[in-house]
Amino acid sequence: MNLTTDQEAMLAGKKGWPLQIAMKMLAAVGRAQDAPELIPVTSAHLVIDGTALGKAGGDFLERLVVEGGRFVIPTSINAIAVDRTKPLKTAEEENQIRILEACEKMGALPSCSCNPFIQGIVPSFGEHVAWSESATAPYINSVLGARTNREGATAVASALTGLTPRYGMHLEENRRPNVLIRVGTDLASVDQFSLLGALVGRLAAERIPTLEGLTRIPSIDDYVSFSAAYAIHSMSAIYHFSGITPEAKTLADAYSEPAPLPIIIDDDALDAERRKTANGKEGPVDVVSIGCPHASIEQLREAVEKIESSTNSPEIKVKFYIHTNRTTYDIAEAEGLISVLLDAGITVTADNCSVVSYDKLIKGVRLATNSTKMALFAKSVCNAEILFGSTQECIDAGLSGIWKG
């Protein structure tokens, strides 16, 4: 990989340890991926979940601060494992805050969300960026038309240098679709987009799909639900919605050769995906989790409307969570939504979620959710019994204590 004189100087340690370590990471990835060079990136998004980084991660980031490391591009932060406004109870929680504060000292914006798009952090078409969190990459590439690989720790290196290796999603030829999926069913809600994302991700696997046949333009909430589900089932960091997303205005735009024969997804296929996701039956529910990815203000308003029109009385035995980010929480609080949710026995978390948290779900818990990503994580992390449905079904279960299916 060709490096400029300036980049060689960083690699040799002539510009300090933080830039040297960052350049070592980027050069190693670049060489492994046969990247010809490093290119500038305009923003980075970091995963700094303390449950994954541990004390060693905190030590590393603090050393970067002490040695003069500073982020040279706008840098946001994914969900963290604690709610920043709550008292810290354990050394692990203190470590998470230490990690966050180190990143803030280097210039990061403490967005603390897997859905930073609803906080106005939105790269533009054609921008090259370096974003971690697998679920954000499909949204960046597919909906915004900006360019990112699914970054890992390398996002920190990009934040420090403003650079990334030129490979993968940064190359035009790697963004073109090679499988066509026809959606023959009307989708009306985030749970349906989540199911569709999971199914499309599995069908596409390592290929890049174009979907045609959507009968309406998805909302941001639909897109992030689809993207999060797609990301956990697919190796790819991009998809296209024909006639909607920027690089697939028409099928002819999307495919350099005649489009392949489509795979059809109809009502039966979506129902089968629902049954595959949900392994629990009717009956008592232990935990309800809405807001994966983090809920928007529209989703919080919708939850309040549904609660206010519900005939169920709050059942405090159910742990009922709605996850959002701090900005949205503050807006909802000013609108008076948070007090309605709290009165209904709901815990509205900001910054974290049921999965990215030190407060772990209990093994074998019966969990109701409208997110296939939350469902998959809860199944794999704590062998949860999954009750999957619409936001309305989840709210009804949270208030009554019973999943009706």
List residues binding ligand F3S (CB under 6 A): 79, 114, 135, 228, 292-294, 323, 353, 355-356, 373-374, 377
Q: How far is the CB of 292 from ligand F3S (least distance, A)?
A: 3
Measure the CA–CA gap between 166 and 346, rounded to whole angstroms.
45
Nearest-CA neighbor of 289 among 136, 192, 403? Answer: 403
Q: How far is the CB of 403 from ligand F3S (least distance, A)?
A: 20
Question: In terms of CB distance, is 228 or 287 closer to ligand F3S?
Answer: 228
- DSSP annotation of 147: B
Question: In terms of CB distance, is 26 or 395 closer to ligand F3S?
Answer: 395
Say which amino acid occupies 60: F
Structure tokens at 182: 């026809």
Other beta carbons within 10 angstroms of residue 326's beta carbon come to 18
Q: How far is the CB of 136 from ligand F3S (least distance, A)?
A: 9
Question: In terms of CB distance, is 10 or 100 closer to ligand F3S?
Answer: 100
Question: In terms of CB distance, is 46 or 353 closer to ligand F3S?
Answer: 353
For tokens 């510009």, what's the residue?
A: 15
End-to-end Cα, the chain, rounded Å: 55
User: Within the chain, what is the greatest distance between any pair of CA atoms?
Assistant: 69
Measure the CA–CA gap between 254 and 245, rounded to whole angstroms.
10
Q: How far is the CB of 237 from ligand F3S (least distance, A)?
A: 15
Measure the CA–CA gap between 54 and 237, rounded to whole angstroms.
27
Nearest-CA neighbor of 203 among 175, 168, 169, 178? Answer: 178
Q: How far is the CB of 353 from ligand F3S (least distance, A)?
A: 3
Question: In terms of CB distance, is 197 or 293 closer to ligand F3S?
Answer: 293
Other beta carbons within 10 angstroms of residue 67's beta carbon come to 13
Q: How far is the CB of 268 from ligand F3S (least distance, A)?
A: 28
Residues 179, 260 contacting (CB under 8 angstroms): yes
Give start and end residues of each alpha helix (H) in 258-325: 267-277, 297-308
Question: In terms of CB distance, is 254 or 374 closer to ligand F3S?
Answer: 374
Q: How far is the CB of 81 from ligand F3S (least distance, A)?
A: 10
Q: How far is the CB of 106 from ligand F3S (least distance, A)?
A: 22
Question: In terms of CB distance, is 61 or 228 closer to ligand F3S?
Answer: 228
Question: In terms of CB distance, is 22 or 79 closer to ligand F3S?
Answer: 79
Residues 6+ apart with CB under 8 A from 74: 42, 43, 44, 109, 121
